Amino acid sequence: MKTLPTLAALALTALLGTGAALAQPQRYEIDPDHLSLGFLVDHIGYAKVLGMFRSARGSYRFDEATGTLSDVRIEVDTASVFSNQRKRDDHLKGPDFLNSGEFPRMVFTASSARRTADRQYEITGQLELLGKSQPLTLQATWNKSAESPLGGFGRKPYVMGVSARGSFKRSAYGMNYAVANGWVGDTVDLIIEFEAVRQ
């Protein structure tokens, strides 16, 4: 017959095991219909050009119980660049800038993230662009997680909303066009807003 301490230990082990099973990171896929990936770049000091990429996708893992974020991956189609001016967009797709014909993807990956406040994260990873990989840090805000009211009939999707900001030097990737004369800024400011669906 098992003693009371032994039974208590078994019960505690079972409870801890259950908690560990529940606290597993869930996979989230970014909803491409609710993804905005924009950028700002200075133009001769007069103003900044606001552009965006119209085609991108991504995923990550998130444990809502512990706030642990991991396995972040965002892929961007470089030919989808849009700045509301056709001639400029064609130039951005060309060899002076994104060289979309040779490098059709820009990819950000991060294995983990550091939680800096209740809903604030510092995501340090690698940005691959023009065949080169350089460090990139995103400051992200976990805006909201809830069952979507727009799910229609049946089970409604569980959605997480995120805002992220970051910046990088394009010259670090060999994109040096008009950097020396200051006509086009070297710093690219990123603006990322998305909703992701728990799988």
Domain ranges of the chain: 25-198
Q: Specify the amino acid at residue 117.
A: A
pLDDT at 2: 44
Which is more confidently placed, 153 or 120? 120
Residue where the block lists tokens 């604030």: 120
Q: What integer best gives the mean pLDDT of the chain? A: 91
**DSSP for residue 152:** -
Helix H or strand E encompassing 92: helix 86-93
Which positions ≥6 away from 2 have C-beta within 8 Å? 10
Q: Which CATH architecture has domain 25-198?
A: Beta Barrel (2.40)
Statement: residue 18 has pLDDT above 90: no
Both tokens of 92, joined, read: 């951005």
- The pair of structure tokens assigned to 122 is 């510092």
102 φ, ψ (degrees, to nearest 5): -90, -30
Q: Which token pair is 76?
A: 């961007």
The predicted pLDDT at position 153 comes to 67
In the structure encoding, which two tokens stand for residue 94, read together?
């060309």
pLDDT at 193 (0 to 100): 98
Examine the pLDDT at 198 and tell me if it is beyond 70: yes
At residue 172, does pLDDT exceed 90?
yes
> What CA–CA distance (Å, rounded) separates 113 from 97?
30
Give the gyration radius of the chain's Cα atoms.
22
Task: Name the least confident of 13-22, 32-41, 93-102, 147-156.
Answer: 13-22
Judged on CB neighbours under 10 Å (0-12, 13-18, 19+), 78 is buried
Angle subtended at Cα 31 by Cα 117 and Cα 61, rounded to the nearest 5 degrees: 45
Residue 177 CA to residue 113 CA, distance in Å, equals: 33
pLDDT band at 150 (very low <50, low <70, confident <90, very high): confident
Distance between CA atoms of residues 72 and 23, nearest Å = 18
